[in-house]
């Protein structure tokens, strides 16, 4: 089997998981009493051996992201089970799920803020220090 077929399979599994994960996570947040939170799955990367799916999440509002991620990680077995039920027609084996915050959107937002002049690193050099640490 060539590499291209494999990556197609990885992509296919990733997109199947991505579609169902949005539903599972959003309904879990709503049932958990967390209204007004938007969870989007920005990407799902499946390892070559198809054993692990790295799930990248974007959570709005951003200040809830860390708490929500912790909750999602602690419920990973339940989420995985729910996904397995939903995808049993398409997937024989459910990969382990690893969750991460996709901070690329936050990064873009920060650049936009800088461009609008709200945070000007030339006028306020301490902003640059803040960015290095994060």
Residue 46 to residue 54: CA distance in whole angstroms:
6
Preceding peptide of 61 cis, ω within 30°: yes
Query: Looking only at Cα atoms, what is the longest distance across the chain?
Result: 58
23-54 tens-digit pLDDT: 999 887 777 777 788 888 999 999 999 999 99
List the Cα angle 68/103/5 in 5-degree steps: 100
Q: What domains can you pick out in the chain, each with its CATH number?
A: 3-102 (3.30.300.20), 103-134 (no CATH)
Per-residue pLDDT, 109: 74
């Amino acid at each position: 089997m060539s590499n291209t077929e494999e990556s197609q399979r990885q992509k296919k599994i990733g997109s199947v998981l991505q579609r169902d994960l949005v539903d599972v996570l959003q309904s879990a947040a709503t049932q958990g009493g967390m209204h007004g939170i938007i969870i989007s799955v920005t990407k799902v990367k499946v390892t070559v051996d198809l054993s692990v799916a790295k799930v990248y999440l974007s959570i709005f509002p951003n200040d809830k992201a860390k708490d929500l991620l912790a909750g999602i990680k602690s419920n990973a077995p339940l989420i995985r089970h729910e996904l397995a039920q939903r995808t049993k027609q398409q997937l024989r084996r459910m990969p382990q799920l690893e969750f991460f915050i996709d901070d690329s959107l936050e990064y873009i937002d920060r650049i936009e803020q800088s461009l609008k002049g709200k945070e000007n690193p030339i006028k306020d050099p301490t902003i640059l220090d803040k960015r290095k640490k994060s």
